[in-house]
Amino acid sequence: MRILILGGTKFLGPAIVRHAMARGHEITLFNRGKTRTELFPNVTKLRGDRNNDLKSLEGGEWDAVVDTSANIPRWVRTASEVLKDSVGQYVYISSISAYAHPDRMGLEETAATALLDDESVEDVTGGTYGGLKALCERTAEAVFPGRSTSIRPGLIVGPEDPTDRFTYWPVRMRRGGEVLAPGTPEDPVQVIDVRDLGAFIVGCIEARHYGTFNAAGPVGGMNVGEMLNACRRAAARDATFTWADADFLEEQGVAAWQHLTVWVPPGSPYGGFGGVSIDKAVRHGLTTRSVEETARDTLRWIDGLPPDRRSEIEACSLAGLPAEREAEVLATWHARSE
């Protein structure tokens, strides 16, 4: 099949390209040509800008387009209008943040999505991100009625992750010792390996699956205790867990998702992020590898990074709890328990 990818050079994009090429598909990338231009030297590359230059998309024909890079509806609208007569399927990569009530567990694809007070806003913030993603989905479907696919991933993880969110845990386990763990071991969490997501996206194109799909994992569910144990096994280090409750962590300024990553407290405003329903995606072909494999491959990827990037990850510059701060919080926890 002929597949056009808008973006294609950051994290999810390369995972889609690699899987699609392994399946024998013909790939075209459209982007500005500013990021990782060395990737995929044998792939057709069209240059342009989502903001104001889509000319290179004119005249082409593809079976599907995958939009990995749009956070604002205008980008979806302008691209889809150019492509509507030359592309069979529009696959938009959305987010579980599109839901109106992210505090609810078990959200299915039919649940209400977020609305914006001002649909012309293009400033992407924590308050607008979900509504903008939902509006992007509706825009794609309006231009490609019955031919659009919206995929709502949970937290995407694995090798090449630029956010360091899940990455914090296997790196922390490698350091060993006493580990500050969030909430209770039974608190639900979800992640999806970027390679599994890429495979699911390509599968949706091959099978012409239209509609909306939550994409998270692992299949069968997972709690934070299981995730941390998987990361510990991957790191092959001795580590012990000290579980601190959500109220104590909040009091200490230790933020869910940002400092103790992946986890959000059940019942909190975003507690549903630990347990969206993936039943529909599983019925349509979603499979997931073990979290231990993801953690092990993430560590292997880190070992091959330049020293400055490895130092950034180990220092928790983007996400995670720096070692000194973790030690302080643990000391406070033990002092209160005495």
For residue 33, is it left (φ>0), alpha (ψ between -120 and 50) or beta?
Answer: left
Which class is domain 2-153?
A: alpha beta
- pTM for this prediction: 0.97
Tokens 């599983």, located at residue: 282
Task: Determine phi and psi for 92, rounding to 5 degrees.
Answer: -105, 130
And the tokens for 123? Answer: 């400033």
Q: Which residues pair with 193 in a beta bridge?
A: 157
Spatial neighbors of 123 by CB under 8 A, at least 6 apart, are none
In this structure, which amino acid lies at residue 197?
L
The pLDDT tens digits along the chain (338 residues) read 999 999 999 999 999 999 999 999 999 999 999 999 999 999 999 999 999 999 999 999 999 999 998 999 999 999 999 999 999 999 999 999 999 999 999 999 999 999 999 999 999 999 999 999 999 999 999 999 999 999 999 999 999 999 999 999 999 999 999 999 999 999 999 999 999 999 999 999 999 999 999 999 999 999 999 999 999 999 999 999 999 999 999 999 999 999 999 999 999 999 999 999 999 999 999 999 999 999 999 999 999 999 999 999 999 999 999 999 999 999 999 998 77
In this structure, which amino acid lies at residue 89?
Q
And the tokens for 36? Answer: 């990782």
Domain ranges of the chain: 2-153, 168-191+221-274+289-332
